[in-house]
């Protein structure tokens, strides 16, 4: 696709340059720069505890030096199994400064999932939460792990919260003395306290050297390590910064409730925050009440999130009691953003909420709606600067005409190097620099893109293609529906038929007859769900993406029993 064929470029406001130069520097340079320019600015606010940029850099360098002293060599992998916290930011940048590769690890992983990721990545070190140490220690013998660094949420809480945390959390918190004397087990706080600031960050080749192994695919199969270089992550973070061109360098405050171990939170909250010298307002997990209180008290200007977060907030019975007027910019990702949710959230806050799109393999963002310009409901927007996109035939790979549904392919400086130790799978999704996303989509005449559904999620009912997202959007428009998910289930006559899982809003009741009537107003008959199941909640990932695999597995068990 030549530049002239990029229809979407005519939609760019003059403030966004379509072609840019990206710094050829290590990702950790942004922390060094932030501390040099704004040493006394608050970098992190965590449940009352604050660190300036100077303090954040100081502790990061101390830990980087300790990692090197403990044997970390350039290119070694270090797993980080922490919730959002000062330690998660310090660990991430310390690993990069020591020349290592960060392996972001979900704290909710089971032993099986954890063992797979540690074995596959070959991580030699791990920084983990004290409560997770038993899980890590049980799988250690089956991996290449040599060193375990332990920390607790309470380590970075102010007095008296640090003393009350074990009581408030209602979980057993190991005492620090339980780790003393254990072979190759170290306390995070001890390493920071005894470390020095004379460590020189390890030089890296930004284009070639990996900064991150981001595991993906765990909801649909065996998780694969996406290889992202320093340049990949810098490019995507810079692209996001250019997209948010009205944001003020050194003056923003970002609400960090998206998990940093997920590539979306890592890029648009942590990396963007450091690059922008923003105040990171960190919460260890998403809780509606705590989030509302934090917004009112800490006054964040940016709130990247997932649709489930915005849905939970706008449906909180006391939302009108909170002042949310500080919020100016929100980019929603990880799942489709229902139009009703977008409109309601904007009305309640006065800020802008736009839908974006991306995947781990692209660091992750490739598309977004314009924040201060025309937005098209139901669209993922247009490609980021220096990002190309096209729709191709899944069968032939040929580019398809406007408005024709096919597989979305993207190309740009944020696209991964490949899958860790999986050359065949890499070759199947990377074609001449183009990344095949696995998402079915189309582009309209103006250059706006629309995700129809995952290629593997398309339902074929009586020979017709039914795209679950379209049905879900209609269900979301019903005033009593809180959440909805649609899958295809085996049907003797139709081959597959459409089944909807629906969560009613609190205090509301729903029945099949009402939903059927509603859907028939807006959908062709073959798209209307034939089966409904009402639930209190839907199975989701940590960032709120519905686990349709779980729903399908449950359905298969029912049909086989």
**For residues 311-318, average pLDDT:** 93
pLDDT of residue 167: 63
For residues 81 and 103, is the Cβ–Cβ distance under 8 A?
Answer: no
Tell whether 364 is covered by a domain. Answer: no
1 has a pLDDT exceeding 50: no
Q: Which of 5, 8, 1 is nearest to 385 (CA)?
A: 8
What percent of the chain shows pLDDT beyond 90?
78
Residue 190's contacts (CB-CB under 8 Å, 6 or more residues apart) are none
pLDDT of residue 552: 87
Tell whether 501 is covered by a domain. Answer: yes
For residues 150 and 128, is the Cβ–Cβ distance under 8 A?
Answer: yes
Domain boundary among 175, 204, 233: 204
Rounded to the nearest angstrom, the gap between the alpha carbon of residue 98 and the centroid of all alpha carbons in its chain is 25
Cis peptide preceding 364, ω within 30 of 0 = yes
For residue 322, CA distances in Å to 119, 121, 292, 353 come to 46, 44, 7, 18
pLDDT of residue 218: 41
Averaged pLDDT score across all residues of the chain: 92
455 has a pLDDT exceeding 80: no
85 has a pLDDT exceeding 60: yes
Pairing mode of beta strands 42-46, 279-282: parallel
Domain boundary among 140, 169, 204: 204
Phi-psi label, residue 431: left if phi above 0, alpha if psi -120 to 50, beta otherwise: beta
Tell whether 394 is covered by a domain. Answer: no
Q: Which of 128, 123, 134 is nearest to 152 (CA)?
A: 128
d(Cα 436, Cα 421) in Å, to the nearest integer?
19
User: 504 lies in which domain range?
Assistant: 458-560
542 has a pLDDT exceeding 90: no
**For residues 253-260, average pLDDT:** 96
Tell whether 137 is covered by a domain. Answer: yes
For residues 75 and 121, is the Cβ–Cβ distance under 8 A?
Answer: no
When computed from its CA atoms, the radius of gyration of the chain, rounded to whole angstroms, is 23
Tell whether 386 is covered by a domain. Answer: no
Q: Which of 535, 547, 125 is nearest to 334 (CA)?
A: 547
**For residues 530-545, average pLDDT:** 90
339 has a pLDDT exceeding 80: yes
**For residues 250-267, average pLDDT:** 96
- Rounded to the nearest 5°, which phi and psi values hold at 46? -135, 100
What percent of the chain shows pLDDT beyond 70?
97
Residue 467's contacts (CB-CB under 8 Å, 6 or more residues apart) are 440, 452, 453, 458, 459
d(Cα 83, Cα 76) in Å, to the nearest integer?
22
Domain boundary among 184, 204, 224: 204
Which of 37-41, 76-80, 305-309 shows the lowest per-residue confidence on average (mean pLDDT)? 305-309
The enclosing domain of 533 has a CATH number of 3.30.300.30
For 182-225, the pLDDT digits (tens) are 999 999 999 999 999 999 999 999 999 999 999 986 434 568 99
For residues 334 and 358, is the Cβ–Cβ distance under 8 A?
Answer: no
For 163-192, the pLDDT digits (tens) are 777 666 667 788 888 898 899 999 999 999
**For residues 4-18, average pLDDT:** 91
Better-scored residue on pLDDT, 378 or 350: 350
d(Cα 449, Cα 376) in Å, to the nearest integer?
10
Cis peptide preceding 6, ω within 30 of 0 = no
Tell whether 468 is covered by a domain. Answer: yes
457 has a pLDDT exceeding 90: no
**For residues 284-313, average pLDDT:** 95
510 has a pLDDT exceeding 70: yes
pLDDT of residue 442: 96
- Rounded to the nearest 5°, which phi and psi values hold at 441? -155, 175
343-376 exposure pattern, b = at least 16 Cβ within 10 A, e = fewer: ebbbebbebbbbbbbbbbbbbbbbbbbbbeeebb
For 119-147, the pLDDT digits (tens) are 999 999 999 999 999 999 999 999 999 99
The angle that helices 468-476 and 339-349 make with each other, rounded to 10 degrees, is 40
291 has a pLDDT exceeding 60: yes
**For residues 326-343, average pLDDT:** 89
pLDDT of residue 219: 35
Q: Which of 133, 131, 158 is nearest to 148 (CA)?
A: 133
Tell whether 97 is covered by a domain. Answer: yes
The enclosing domain of 121 has a CATH number of 3.40.50.980
d(Cα 287, Cα 295) in Å, to the nearest integer?
12
Pairing mode of beta strands 406-411, 388-392: antiparallel
Exposure of 152 in the CB half-sphere (CA atoms within 13 A)? 20
DSSP 310-343: HHHHHT-TTGGGS--TT--EEEE-SS---HHHHH
Pairing mode of beta strands 481-491, 49-52: unpaired
Tell whether 166 is covered by a domain. Answer: yes
For 87-113, the pLDDT digits (tens) are 999 999 999 999 999 999 989 888 888
d(Cα 4, Cα 234) in Å, to the nearest integer?
26
Structural domains in the chain (count): 2
> pLDDT tier at 377 (50, 70, 90 boundaries)?
confident
Q: How many residues in total does the chain contain?
A: 561
**By CB neighbour count within 10 A (0-12 exposed, 13-18 middle, 19+ buried), where does 107 fall?**
buried
pLDDT of residue 2: 38
d(Cα 72, Cα 60) in Å, to the nearest integer?
15
> pLDDT tier at 378 (50, 70, 90 boundaries)?
confident
Better-scored residue on pLDDT, 434 or 467: 434
């Amino acid at each position: 696709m030549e530049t002239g064929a990029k229809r979407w470029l005519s939609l760019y406001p003059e403030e966004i340059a379509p072609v840019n130069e990206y710094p050829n520097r290590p990702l950790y340079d942004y922390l060094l720069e932030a501390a040099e320019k704004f040493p006394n600015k608050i970098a992190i606010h965590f449940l009352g505890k604050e660190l300036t940029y100077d303090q954040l850099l100081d502790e990061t360098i101390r830990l980087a030096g300790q990692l090197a002293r403990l044997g970390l060599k350039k290119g070694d992998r270090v797993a980080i199994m922490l919730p959002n916290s000062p330690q998660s930011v310090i660990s991430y940048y310390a690993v990069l400064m020591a020349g290592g590769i960060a392996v972001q690890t979900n704290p909710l992983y089971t032993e099986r999932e954890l063992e797979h990721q540690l074995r596959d990545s070959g991580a030699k070190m791990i920084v983990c939460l004290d409560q997770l140490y038993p899980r890590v220690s049980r799988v250690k013998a089956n991996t290449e792990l040599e060193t375990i660094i332990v920390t607790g949420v309470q380590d970075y809480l102010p007095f008296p919260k640090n003393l009350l945390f074990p009581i408030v959390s209602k979980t057993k918190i190991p005492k620090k003395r339980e780790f003393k004397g254990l072979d190759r087990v170290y306390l995070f706080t001890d390493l920071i306290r005894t470390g020095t600031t004379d460590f020189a960050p390890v030089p890296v080749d930004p284009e070639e050297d990996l900064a991150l192994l981001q595991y993906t695919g765990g909801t649909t199969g065996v998780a694969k390590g996406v290889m992202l270089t320093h340049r990949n992550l810098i490019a995507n973070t810079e692209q996001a910064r250019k997209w948010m061109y009205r944001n003020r360098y050194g003056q923003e405050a970002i609400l960090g409730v998206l998990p940093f171990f997920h590539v979306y939170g890592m890029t648009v909250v942590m990396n963007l925050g450091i690059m922008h010298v923003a105040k990171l307002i960190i919460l260890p997990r998403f809780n509606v009440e705590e989030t509302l209180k934090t917004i009112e008290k800490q006054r964040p200007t940016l709130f990247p999130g997932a649709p489930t977060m915005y849905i939970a907030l706008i449906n909180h019975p006391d939302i009108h009691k909170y002042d949310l007027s500080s919020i100016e910019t929100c980019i929603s990702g990880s799942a489709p953003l229902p139009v009703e949710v977008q409109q309601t959230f904007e009305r309640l806050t006065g800020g802008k909420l736009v839908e974006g799109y991306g995947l781990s393999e692209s660091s992750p963002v490739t598309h977004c709606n314009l924040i201060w310009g025309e937005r098209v409901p139901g669209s993922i927007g247009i490609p980021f600067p220096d990002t190309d996109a096209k729709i191709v035939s899944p069968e032939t790979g040929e580019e398809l005409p406007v408005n024709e549904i096919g597989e979305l392919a993207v190309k740009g400086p944020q696209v991964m190097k490949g899958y860790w130790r999986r050359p065949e799978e890499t070759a199947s999704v990377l074609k001449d620099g183009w990344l095949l996303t696995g998402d079915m989509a189309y582009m309209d005449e103006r250059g706006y893109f629309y995700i129809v559904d995952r290629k593997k999620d398309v339902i074929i009912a009586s020979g017709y293609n039914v795209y679950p997202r379209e049905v879900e959007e209609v269900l979301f428009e019903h005033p009593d529906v809180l959440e909805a998910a649609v899958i295809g289930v085996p049907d003797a006559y139709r081959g597959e038929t459409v089944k909807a899982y629906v969560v009613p809003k609190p205090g509301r009741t729903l029945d099949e007859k009402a939903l059927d009537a509603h859907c028939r107003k807006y959908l062709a008959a073959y798209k209307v769900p034939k089966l409904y199941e009402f639930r209190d909640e839907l199975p989701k990932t940590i960032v709120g993406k519905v686990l349709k695999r779980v729903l399908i597995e449950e359905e298969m068990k029912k049909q086989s029993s």
